């Protein structure tokens, strides 16, 4: 259906909503880029409009990408509010109807063939507006369970796209027939990394196993502390590239300067890995990381042996749920709560370093959960929905 729809469409109008955090914004951005590329092959140019909040990450990303952006008023429902947040919940409850009215006006004026929602509280007004105006809503969920916004929208979406097979169990029974597991869209460049470039850029030894440690863009103090306590032991067996974030950078550089001279050249610490990320991941033999949805999607698509240290607590505890799901399937190792100690982390890493076969088994199992073509599958679902609407 998608191929037929692409061939017959002369123009496709798409409203995109979702944002607040990178976990909602970047899957939308990756899907938009993939959709543009797919339609360009058929000589079709999508007319895009991104709807979000003026202070959200989505507004910044839309500007950078040259995508028209409309801001709406909306409110956030905090699931376990403090007394202070309870008052904010009440105030936000009055903003939501205004946001829905604004969203209806936007949908009526833009006349989209399809609406894409990637979650976050900003997506609810547009999703409801799409349903009220009978425009097909394609909803994507990045995490194992469903976020609150997507639990609402799943009931009215024409298509419910999921990142995990097990997520289907979290859907209402009448919604399951509209569900499709696509995976979480990842940047295509992540799959095209070059190991040699990373080794040259960071002056790494091609004959020594590489451990890549990351706490995400901002770093993770917990992960940094664990690594600091066992760093000499690790460097005796491998080399370490450590992305520690700005907050811990000076401390980790001081730690590096204090290492014995024969170990110092085996440790590279950086505040942030920029465009070299695909190359770094291609070079890594083992990865220690948080288990956010985007990180997990990239590492499983690449088939990496990982030790996940989930951030706890997070909304719905999704990082621990995701890491546990993979660990129970033999596709990752997990250290959480009282198990996240320097001693346990050392044991896990050394086990993978000392037993290459077990490391490969872990990587192979992770690859079974990876969906490198997720962005293409989400774009196909959008084209299909738009084609059905236009028939």
Among 10-24, 198-212, 373-387, whose mean pLDDT is lowest?
10-24
Q: Are 224 and 244 in contact (CB under 8 A)?
A: yes
CATH number of 189-369: 3.40.50.2000
Tens-digit pLDDT profile for residues 187-243? 999 999 999 999 999 999 999 999 999 988 777 999 999 999 999 999 999 999 999
Q: How far apart are the two ends of the chain, measured CA to CA in Å?
A: 11
What is the residue-averaged pLDDT of the chain? 91
67 versus 145: the higher-pLDDT residue is 67
Q: What is the pLDDT of residue 76?
A: 59
Provide the pLDDT confidence category of residue 79 given band limits of 50, 70 and 90: low
Q: What is the pLDDT of residue 93?
A: 55
Q: What is the pLDDT of residue 387?
A: 86
Q: What is the pLDDT of residue 4?
A: 42
Helix axes 293-302, 318-328, angle to 10 degrees: 20
Tens-digit pLDDT profile for residues 36-63? 999 999 889 899 999 999 988 999 999 9
Every domain of the chain and the residues it spans: 2-186+372-390, 189-369
The stretch 297-326 carries a mean pLDDT of 91
Residue 261, judged by CB atoms within 10 A of its CB (0-12, 13-18, 19+), counts as: exposed
The stretch 359-382 carries a mean pLDDT of 97
pLDDT over threshold 80, residue 80? no
pLDDT over threshold 50, residue 1? no
Q: Domain 2-186+372-390 class?
A: alpha beta
Which segments of the chain does DSSP mark as H helices, in order?
Answer: 2-8, 22-40, 57-65, 83-110, 123-132, 148-153, 195-201, 221-235, 246-257, 261-264, 277-283, 293-302, 318-328, 342-354, 356-369, 374-390
The stretch 107-127 carries a mean pLDDT of 95
Joined tokens for residue 89: 């919940």
Q: What is the pLDDT of residue 74?
A: 76
Provide the pLDDT confidence category of residue 3 given band limits of 50, 70 and 90: very low
């Amino acid at each position: 259906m998608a191929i037929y729809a692409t061939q017959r469409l002369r123009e496709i109008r798409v409203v995109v909503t979702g944002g607040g955090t990178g976990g909602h914004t970047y899957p939308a951005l990756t899907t938009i880029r993939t959709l543009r590329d797919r339609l360009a092959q058929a000589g079709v140019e999508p007319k895009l409009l991104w709807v979000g909040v003026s202070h959200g990450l989505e507004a910044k990303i839309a500007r950078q990408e040259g995508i028209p952006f409309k801001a709406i008023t909306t409110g956030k429902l905090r699931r376990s509010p403090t007394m202070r947040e309870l008052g904010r919940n009440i105030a936000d409850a009055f903003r939501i109807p205004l946001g829905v009215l604004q969203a209806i006006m936007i949908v009526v004026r833009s006349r989209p063939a399809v609406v894409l929602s990637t979650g976050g509280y900003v997506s609810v007004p547009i999703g409801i507006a799409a349903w009220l105006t009978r425009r097909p809503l394609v909803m994507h969920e990045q995490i194992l369970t469903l976020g609150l916004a997507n639990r609402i929208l799943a009931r009215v979406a024409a298509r419910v796209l999921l990142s995990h097979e097990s997520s289907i169990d979290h859907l209402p029974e009448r919604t399951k027939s509209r569900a499709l597991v696509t995976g979480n869209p990842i940047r295509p460049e992540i799959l095209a990394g070059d190991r040699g470039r990373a080794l040259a850029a960071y002056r790494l030894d091609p004959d020594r196993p590489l451990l890549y440690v990351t706490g995400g863009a901002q770093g993770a103090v917990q992960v940094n502390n664990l690594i600091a306590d066992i760093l000499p032991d690790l460097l005796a067996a491998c080399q370490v590239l450590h992305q520690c974030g700005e907050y811990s950078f000076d401390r980790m550089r001081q730690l590096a300067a204090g290492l014995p001279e024969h170990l110092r050249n085996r440790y590279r610490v950086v505040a942030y890995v920029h465009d070299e990320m695909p190359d770094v991941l291609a070079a890594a033999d083992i990865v220690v990381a948080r288990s956010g949805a985007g990180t997990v999607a990239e590492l499983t698509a690449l088939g990496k042996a990982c030790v996940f240290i989930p951030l706890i607590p997070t909304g719905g505890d999704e990082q621990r749920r995701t890491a546990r799901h993979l660990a129970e399937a033999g596709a990752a190792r997990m250290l959480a709560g009282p198990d996240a100690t320097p001693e346990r982390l050392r044991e896990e890493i050394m086990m993978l370093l000392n037993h290459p076969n077990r490391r490969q088994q872990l990587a192979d199992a992770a690859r079974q959960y990876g969906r490198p073509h997720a962005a293409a599958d989400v774009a196909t679902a959008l084209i299909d929905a738009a084609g059905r609407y236009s028939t």
